[in-house]
Amino acid sequence: MEYSREELIKAVSEQMPAQRWQHTVGVMGSSIKLAERYGADVQQAELAAILHDVAKYWPVKRMEAVIKDNNLSKDLLFYDKPLWHAEVGAYVAEHDYGVTDTEVLDAIRYHTSGRIGMTLLDKVVCLADYIEPGRDYPGVDRIRSLAEISLEQGLIAGIDSTINLLISRGQIIYPLTVFARNDLIKQMEANL
């Protein structure tokens, strides 16, 4: 099914509380700015941002069923539930909203965890999620400042804040995020 931009915005916004939609609008704006700043495709960035949290308010059982029934990353099921919505979101974007652009689908899929070899688009959407104007958590201003200097530095600082939070809560860490962080540091070293 083909959705116009406006139809898609309407359909996605109806799937979440107003506050979460405000967050999404923030991520759309920040994704566009980062895409312009770092040379990513603005339309792809906005589309991924619109859809990135589409499954955020799905019941856990429904997310679990989509992951199990469609052979998505089952290892996710061993980890924090907030991670699931990204993988399910990519599935929903493709199957319910007709998104065929695999770069956009991957940016949705990896917006929470990151991955090894993050694309420019992955980085833009993941970092926008950390710094959109509605975000307010310890260290967000530093991440915003770093995002103006370097996508990778901003993203590493964002991932560090997530890892620190998980450690402070005594929670387990989905290893892909650690691999993503290592890879980003290696990329920065290679560009020195």
Contact flag: residue 31 with ligand ADP (CB under 6 A): no
Within 10 A of 71 (CB to CB), how many other CB atoms are there? 7
Give yes or no for residue 129 binding ligand ADP (CB under 6 A).
yes
Q: How far apart are CA 51 and CA 108, in angstroms?
A: 7
Compute the residue count for the chain: 192
Q: Which stretch binds ligand ADP (CB under 6 A): 28-36, 141-149, 166-174, 183-191?
A: 166-174
Q: Which is nearer to ligand ADP, 116 or 173 (CB)?
A: 173
CA 106 to chain centroid, in Å, comes to 9
**Backbone phi and psi for residue 44, each to the nearest 5 degrees, phi listed first:** -65, -40
Binding residue (CB under 6 A) for ligand ADP from 72, 83, 105, 143? 83
Helices (H) and strands (E) in the chain, counts: 10, 0
Give me the 146-165 binding string for ligand ADP, x by CB under 6 A, dash otherwise: ----------------x--x
Give me 189's structure tokens: 């070293």
Place of tokens 């099914």: 1
Number of residues that bind ligand ADP (CB under 6 A): 13
Q: Which is nearer to ligand ADP, 59 or 100 (CB)?
A: 59
**C-beta of residue 52 within 8 angstroms of C-beta of residue 24:** yes
- CB of 113 vs ligand ADP, minimal distance in Å: 6
Among 63, 174, 181, 184, binds ligand ADP (CB under 6 A): 174
The pair of three-digit structure tokens given for residue 66, joined into one six-digit string:
């989509």
107 neighbors 114 (Cβ within 8 angstroms): no
Quote the least distance from Cβ 63 to ligand ADP, whole Å: 13
Q: Does 30 bind ligand ADP (CB under 6 A)?
A: no
Which residues are near ligand ADP by CB under 6 A?
79-80, 82-83, 112-113, 129, 162, 165-166, 173-174, 177
